[in-house]
Homo-oligomer: A and B are copies of this chain.
């Protein structure tokens, strides 16, 4: 990679997510050279992917050009590249566009969908971790209804209109709520010649409550909200497999469906070279110390979802969310400055700002440090917080316009099949 050496030490950041961007921004004007690598040329605002899948937002409004993040930063370089391997002994990485040496390396690769080794699920279930995946899901949902119009076969039509979401975390809950609102507000008008009352939205949770990282009060209220919207909530149900036609569970319960959305787990998006057992914590995450340093290599750091920093307060590491990533990014920028100056590093301390999830219009749940609340106010707080953390002024305005429009008109206009998802409906039928 033809990046000129400067007199400053070179920090290579792998990944332009919340962690990578927060780190890069904070490194601006420090005496370092920064190389940011990402396989995409844009940052993805993952918390709103479900709204892309359900036609509420256009994909371009939750993406932000990574080059624009670095505009005006001197001695900063961006390269669109996929990192293939880390060679810690040589202080080098290999990528699809060449090799690159580093003085300090920051792994901020985030997480990816975890199918827990189930190949069948990986093959047939839809994931929702990236914009292209979300657009595939958007296309598939719409294609299913177009397809449902074409069949006279009762059972097949029901399966096409049956959505099974596996995983009762925020992603699953938010998607289920959005689908339920589509069922209620859009389907009857868009498909007058289809009995869309028969459409079903099921959410399957392996544990005994949804949103189990939140308070019991939030779980309970979220479940009420979902049921108000007509979502079927199934608890203590573990999915064993899905063959493209039928979801099998640990009980007798099965679901005939054309669409399974897998939101039941993520794992660290690890890279060759640091993928040996010795570096890893649960969920494929890189074990780091309180300075985000990877074991054995004081010049390699990990932040965000991929990093597992175990502490008394967080024995399993921090939650895999935007907040720890951003805080670690900013903290690491200061620590790198200290390290280069030969000063002692400061330990990271996570400031939990709470968590929230939205279920539908006027329906959200918030667990803040001191307050727990649900309903309309929570929903406004949710919107405000998401607008605030969304990157880019234009994106904020466009998202805001869409939300106001969707709210006032009970509508979602981005129900477009721009690139069809090539579902094999014949296979589904056999």
Seen from chain A, the residues whose Cβ lies within 8 Å of a Cβ on chain B are: 1-3, 40-42, 58-61, 63-65, 67-68, 71-72, 77, 79-80, 97-98, 131-132, 135, 142, 146, 149-150, 152, 189-191, 193, 392-395, 397-398, 401-402, 405, 411, 413-419
Contact = CB atoms under 8 A, between A and B. Distances in A.
B97 A150 contact: yes
Contact of A190 (B2, B40, B67): B67
B401 A413 contact: no
A65 B413 contact: yes
A42 B394 contact: no
Nearest to A72: B189
B416 A60 contact: yes
5 nearest CB pairs, A to B: A58-B60, A67-B190, A60-B414, A58-B58, A394-B405
B132 A41 contact: no
B418 A63 contact: yes
Contact of A405 (B64, B72, B397, B402): B397
A112 B386 CA distance: 42
A205 to B, nearest CB: 31
B417 A190 contact: no
6 contacts: A42-B418, A63-B418, A68-B415, A79-B149, A97-B150, A392-B413
Nearest to A392: B413
A71 B414 contact: no
Contacts of A97: 150
Contact of A65 (B41, B61, B394, B416): B416
Contact of A416 (B41, B135, B393): B41
Given A190-B65, A413-B392, A419 B132 contact: yes
A393 B41 CA distance: 31
Copies of this protein, total: 2
Which of A58, A131, A189 has the most B CB atoms < 10 Å from its CB?
A58
Contact of A142 (B41, B59, B61): B41
Contacts of A189: 71-72
Given A394-B413, A398-B398, 19 more contacts: A2-B150, A40-B417, A41-B142, A41-B417, A58-B59, A58-B61, A58-B398, A60-B413, A67-B191, A71-B190, A72-B189, A97-B150, A98-B150, A131-B418, A132-B419, A135-B418, A394-B402, A397-B405, A398-B401
Contact of A419 (B2, B405, B416, B419): B419
A48 B235 CA distance: 48
A258 B286 CA distance: 41
Contacts of A63: 416, 418
A398 B413 CA distance: 12
A63 to B, nearest CB: 5
Nearest to A419: B132
A392 B417 CA distance: 17
A417 B42 contact: yes
A132 B418 contact: yes
B193 A77 contact: yes
A225 to B, nearest CB: 26
A41 B150 contact: no
A208 B422 CA distance: 46
A180 to B, nearest CB: 19
Contacts of A150: 1-2, 97-98
Which of A3, A393, A413 has the most B CB atoms < 10 Å from its CB?
A413
Given A401-B397, A401-B398, A64 B152 contact: no
A150 B189 CA distance: 51
A401 B41 CA distance: 23
A193 B4 CA distance: 10
A158 to B, nearest CB: 16
Contacts of A68: 190, 413, 415
Which of A77, A80, A131, A418 has the most B CB atoms < 10 Å from its CB?
A418
A100 to B, nearest CB: 12
Nearest to A67: B190
